[in-house]
């Protein structure tokens, strides 16, 4: 009997991607063939894993559901299921608006989808999943939820309270993937800084990463989504001493104005932010810091925005993203502040901030010209091999274009001499 085929479509962040990979592993264990984000639908079952973080992401998720409803009406799809953050938050409203969807699942009950279609409990280990990224790198989600309750953020309303995965379970997952050839591990959570506190009242991030670095085959570990307040300083010692822990930290700061930070309920002020950044750079020389900033939050006048621009010029972040504030239902900000900054002002400020950062990014990249960097090759394009240094996370950071002077293998590391630079790309050749 032919195996039924399931197409899984993921929207949103890497944390959602991990959930989709777990779902696909469960489907395959139950006797289905699972395909991730196919260019052309292969089977008669489609699962859409939605994002509900901000307005644009919600719109994208709704549009994808509507597209699959159209495919179902046309006969290209027989069964349509929806899971993830959007359906967790707006389940009743979505059910009423889109009755064509066969069943809805939230952020945490989607394993029941496999059970309902296969009449069996998914039997795979908690860490087993179908990797959809290139085999040599993977995301490792070490926790779920968030306790910070920032004024602008709906994530705690969707995911609930912070919940750490047990250390031994995470290490087993990494060992399992490393044995299959995964070399680079991007560590993710809503808030890395809180890892372990719900287990026994103290941080265990440094212990986790230090033990992870000892696992055979683990060549790179990269940290994503740290929180600045109550930052676990001992992770810096691990980063400084372990060669396979990247000198890279993704830490969202959002703003620098004390007024705006207080309105955001970020639990840290401008002085504390600067002291933290100074200590990170002092204790981990050469570290590349990625941050995310926000424009247009209530209370950001011209003075506060000028302060933010000066902060970006002062800190010269190696990696920076930004977005304009979007009011989210039921958040503290939506209940307590008027969203009275015009959208065109928010966008103009965002554009100005990113223009400043583009010049900074170019300067950082130009400083790498002539240097010898270790690069992992992700893929082969027509004119170049494309890879990344330890300072570059997949999808969001610059890539290294390596000249085709010789045959290179995807997933292998090579020393590359950087010859030229653009704001978001480096070009180099294999070292002699």
pTM of the predicted model as reported, rounded to 2 decimal places: 0.93
CB atoms within 10 A of CB 57: 18
What is the DSSP secondary structure assignment for residue 192, as one 8-state letter? G
The residue written with tokens 């480096």 in the block is: 426
Q: Are 245 and 284 in contact (CB under 8 A)?
A: no
Question: Residue 387's pLDDT is what?
Answer: 97
- What proportions of the chain, in percent to the nearest 5, are helix, strand and coil? 35, 25, 40
- pLDDT tens per residue, range 166-217: 999 999 999 999 999 999 999 999 999 999 999 999 999 999 999 999 999 9
Which among 225, 195, 224, 189 is positioned nearest to 207, based on CA atoms? 195
**Helical packing angle, 234-241 and 205-212, nearest 10°:** 20
- pLDDT tens per residue, range 380-402: 999 999 999 999 999 999 999 99
Question: Residue 43's pLDDT is what?
Answer: 80
CB atoms within 10 A of CB 187: 26
392, β-bridge pairs? none
> Residue 428 is encoded by which pair of tokens?
């180099």
Q: What is the spatial distance between Cα 111 and Cα 316, in angstroms, rounded to a whole number?
A: 44
Helix (H) or strand (E) holding 321: strand 319-324
Average pLDDT over every residue of 258-265 = 98
- Between the alpha carbon of residue 171 and those of residues 21, 166, 178, 215, 218, the distances in Å are 18, 9, 10, 8, 11
Helix (H) or strand (E) holding 142: none
- pLDDT tens per residue, range 337-361: 999 999 999 999 999 999 999 999 9
Judged on CB neighbours under 10 Å (0-12, 13-18, 19+), 174 is buried
């Amino acid at each position: 009997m032919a195996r039924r085929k399931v197409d899984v479509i993921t929207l949103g962040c890497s944390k959602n991607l991990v959930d989709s990979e777990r779902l696909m592993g469960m489907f395959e264990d139950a006797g289905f063939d699972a395909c991730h984000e196919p260019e052309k639908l292969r089977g008669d079952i489609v699962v859409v894993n939605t994002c509900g973080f901000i307005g644009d992401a919600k719109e994208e998720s709704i549009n994808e559901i509507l597209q699959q409803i159209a495919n179902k009406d046309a006969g290209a799809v027989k069964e349509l299921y929806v899971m993830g953050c959007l359906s967790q938050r707006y389940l009743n409203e979505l059910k009423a608006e889109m009755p064509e969807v066969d069943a809805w699942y939230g952020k945490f009950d989607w394993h029941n989808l496999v059970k309902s279609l296969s009449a069996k409990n998914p039997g795979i280990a908690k860490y087993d999943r179908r990797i959809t990224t290139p085999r040599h790198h993977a995301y490792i989600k070490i926790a779920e939820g968030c306790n910070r309750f920032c004024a602008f953020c709906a994530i705690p309303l969707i995911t609930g309270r912070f919940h750490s995965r047990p250390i031994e379970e995470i290490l087993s997952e990494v060992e399992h993937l490393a044995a299959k050839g995964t070399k680079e591990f991007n560590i993710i959570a809503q808030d890395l800084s809180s890892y372990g506190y719900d287990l026994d009242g103290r941080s265990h991030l440094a212990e986790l990463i230090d033990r992870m670095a000892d696992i055979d085959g683990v060549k790179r570990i990269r940290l994503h989504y740290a929180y600045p307040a109550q930052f676990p300083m001992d992770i810096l010692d691990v980063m400084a001493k372990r060669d396979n822990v990247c000198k890279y930290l993704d830490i969202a700061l959002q703003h620098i104005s004390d007024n705006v930070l207080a309105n955001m309920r970020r639990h840290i002020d401008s002085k504390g932010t600067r002291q933290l950044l100074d200590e990170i750079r002092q204790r981990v020389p050469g570290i590349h810091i990625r941050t995310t900033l926000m424009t247009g939050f209530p209370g950001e006048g011209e003075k506060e925005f000028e302060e933010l621009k000066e902060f970006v010029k002062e800190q010269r972040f190696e990696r920076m993203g930004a977005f304009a504030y979007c009011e989210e239902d039921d958040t503290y900000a939506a209940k307590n502040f008027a969203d009275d900054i015009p959208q065109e002002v928010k966008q103009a400020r965002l554009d100005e901030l990113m223009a400043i950062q583009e010049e900074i990014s170019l300067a950082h990249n130009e400083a790498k010209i002539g240097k010898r960097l270790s690069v992992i090759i992700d893929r082969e394009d027509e004119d170049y091999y494309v890879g990344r240094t330890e300072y570059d996370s997949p999808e969001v950071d610059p890539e290294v274009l390596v000249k085709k002077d010789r045959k290179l293998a995807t997933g292998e590391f090579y020393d590359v001499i950087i010859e030229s630079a653009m704001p978001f790309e480096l070009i180099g050749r294999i070292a002699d």
